[in-house]
A and B are shown apart, each in its own frame.
Chain A
Amino acid sequence: MTERAEQREERAALAPREAREMPYLRAIPRPTPWPIITAFGVTFMFAAIVTNIFVVVVGAVFALVGVIGWFREVFPHENVEAIPVADCEIPLPPPEFAPRPKKTPRNVVPERIHPYRSGVKGAIAGAIAMAVVAAAWGVIDAGSLWLPINLLAGTVLPSIGEATEAQLKTFNATWFATSVGLHAFLSISVGMVFVVSLPMMPRRPLLAGGLIAPVIWTGIAWATLRVVNPTLEDYISWPWFLGSQVAFGLACGFVISRATMVPLQVGWSLERRMGVERTEGDES
């Protein structure tokens, strides 16, 4: 072992144990030129490709010297300097808190919600109501029960665009399954939206949810249908369409608004909500 190394070793032994083991508790790293020298060398080694091969030698020398110097900076002990503050290794204690106040200026919006379960229930009710109206249209006005079902599937299955009218009016298993799946997905999504938004609607949730929303929705559908589902547009009857939307809104809104509202759990951490972690301070 060289003499210098030994000296270093001794110096390090004098340093407090925590300073060595915990990063920067009592000390911080000392400034050092080696990183910049290494970086310079590395860059020059690359620059050789665009300038002159000689440059690579210069770069390599710098890089090597830099790396060695750097290594000696951290081995066997980090080269640190002490922090000139008494007690610097003792963490600041946390403040003394007053007992938990009963009433605080903290708020939860909205304070109470409909349980999500009721959204699903409402969605099912709405979905049925809507299906009934649509089926009625199919049978009464359009001449086939299958037509509305197949047309709905056309939203996701472009192949339906090429189907003949006769095909559209007969049963097709794939189309049926698609249609039902789509209907369920959309209904439940909308049901969830209802659940979370009904309490926020100022007055008469049923009016807003059951009538106004479907009208807006129908308007959007009317505007977009040409692109979303051209087949449907060819066949659609707008009064019936509106009717089915309103049926959905009313049924869904009715079911949801009848459910008793539950208070909301706030301020839970994500882990806590998922039941993974208990952080301190979560006694509540």
Chain B
Amino acid sequence: MIAIVFCIALGVAGMAAPVEASQEDANAAAAAPPVPPAPAPVRQPDGSVADLDAKLVICDPDAPPVSGAGVTSIFEPESPPSREIRELGFLVFAICIGIFVVVQGFLVLAIVRGVRSRRAAGREGEGGSAEPTQVYGSVPIEVAWTVIPTIIVFVLTMVTIRTIRDIDITSPPEDALEVIVIGHQWWWEFRYPDEAGEVVTANEMHVPVGRPIWLRLESADVIHSFWVPRLAGKMDLIPGRTNYTWFEAERAGIYLGQCAEYCGTQHAHMLIRVYADEPEAFDAWLDAQRKPGVEDPTVAEGRRVFAEYACLNCHTVDGTSDGMFGPNLTHLASRDTIGSGFIPLNRENLRAWIDDPAQLKIGCNMPSLKLDAAELDAVTDYLLTLN
């Protein structure tokens, strides 16, 4: 009975998922060109506010990888490391199921026989108070159940070591794109080192499809962990230390993940969004990010408030200050979300956020600067022009 429960529960997730995924694979292969790109990497330059509001959806339901129940499932890999882990996982799972069935089988058998034998003894009579045959042990049997597990352990170890060496590479794969990921309480900073000027963005990482991405992981405060299950296993971001990991998105779309090492109050709201774009789209995005922000004269008032209220101490726009404590806002309006991936970016939310971030994200590290309504409107309008 226990076996059934166990199998069903893990089976639902384990066995159903790969089938689904392989079907998707097939579909994707068949309809290769029209894969819908992730939310447009290049925003309309005029970027009027109303326009943005309408366009921003938190995640495009048609984008293939974000479908149904599997948005963060480890069973639907779209990248070599996570795929290899899934294979290994199935193997180990199968071995474990095998052991499980054998052990529980013997247990059930022992129970059935034991109860039957007790009943039989009870029936046979009160005359013999005799206990069942006393068996102290058996060397050969005990040797057997020492040796067999040892062999299994040997196999498991070999498989594991092999996979570790495949995935845990110490230097970037050829042609890899390097991205520096910096964890902050409770948001992500992504830096794209590049001769043509470093691009800095937050919480939403864009990567090209089909090219290995080499992540350099650092932390600004406490330990975080970068985990996008469909792309790769997790790796910690540790202050005073640099870690590396890699993945290669095989299909365009949005991949979700989140911080996986407890890092304080808002650990739960430290979400990651990885946008895998077709290479051209990605280049376009990178170019757009590299451009200085638009200087829209209509929002001069907002820009003034922004500077006056010391927003600049923590945020930078176009390198106007070296505020590094909060996310870089140069191209804020090109993002889909704020507050590390869980608040859709629209006028209403942005205004509420600036008014009092703690209302939306309790305990977060941005204070409410107590702007009045007019100032709020001005700053919000200003920020929405930054795309």
Contact = CB atoms under 8 A, between A and B. Distances in A.
Interface of A: 105-110, 113, 155-156, 158, 189-190, 192-193, 195-197, 199-200, 223-224, 226-228, 264-267
B69 to A, nearest CB: 27
Contacts of B136: 106, 266-267
Nearest to A109: B138
B155 A228 contact: yes
A107 B135 contact: yes
Interface stretch (B50-58, B157-165, B345-353): B157-165
A233 to B, nearest CB: 12
Contacts of A266: 136-139
B144 A108 contact: no
Nearest to A159: B165
Contacts of B139: 264-266
B163 A264 contact: no
B88 interface: yes
Contacts of B151: 189-190, 193
Given A193-B144, A197-B144, A227 B133 contact: no
Contacts of B135: 106-109
Interface of B: 87-88, 91, 94, 130-141, 143-144, 147-148, 150-151, 155, 158-159, 161-163, 165
A156 B144 contact: no
A227 B143 contact: no
B96 to A, nearest CB: 13
In the complex, the 8 A-B pairs of residues with the closest C-beta atoms, listed nearest first: A196-B140, A196-B144, A107-B133, A267-B136, A106-B134, A105-B133, A109-B138, A113-B140
B162 A227 contact: yes
A108 B130 CA distance: 18
Given A223-B94, A227-B159, A264 B133 contact: no
Given A189-B151, A223-B94, A110 B162 contact: no
A200 B134 CA distance: 19
B130 to A, nearest CB: 6
Contacts of B158: 155-156, 228
Contact of B138 (A110, A156, A226): A110
A265 B138 CA distance: 9
Given A196-B140, A227-B163, 6 more contacts: A106-B135, A109-B138, A199-B140, A227-B87, A228-B155, A264-B139
A264 to B, nearest CB: 7
B162 A264 contact: no
A155 B155 CA distance: 9
B9 to A, nearest CB: 23
B147 A192 contact: yes
Given A109-B138, A227-B91, A264-B138, A158 B162 contact: yes
Nearest to A224: B91
Contacts of A193: 144, 147-148, 151
A267 B131 CA distance: 18
Nearest to A266: B136
B287 to A, nearest CB: 39
Contacts of B143: 192, 196
5 contacts: A106-B133, A106-B135, A227-B87, A228-B158, A266-B136
A193 B146 CA distance: 10
B140 A110 contact: yes
B110 to A, nearest CB: 14
B263 to A, nearest CB: 24
A249 B151 CA distance: 17
Nearest to A228: B159
A159 B131 CA distance: 59
Nearest to B130: A105
Contacts of A106: 133-136
B133 A226 contact: no
A54 B227 CA distance: 48
A166 B223 CA distance: 48
Contact of B141 (A109, A158, A227): A109
A195 B140 contact: yes
B141 A196 contact: yes
A156 B161 CA distance: 9
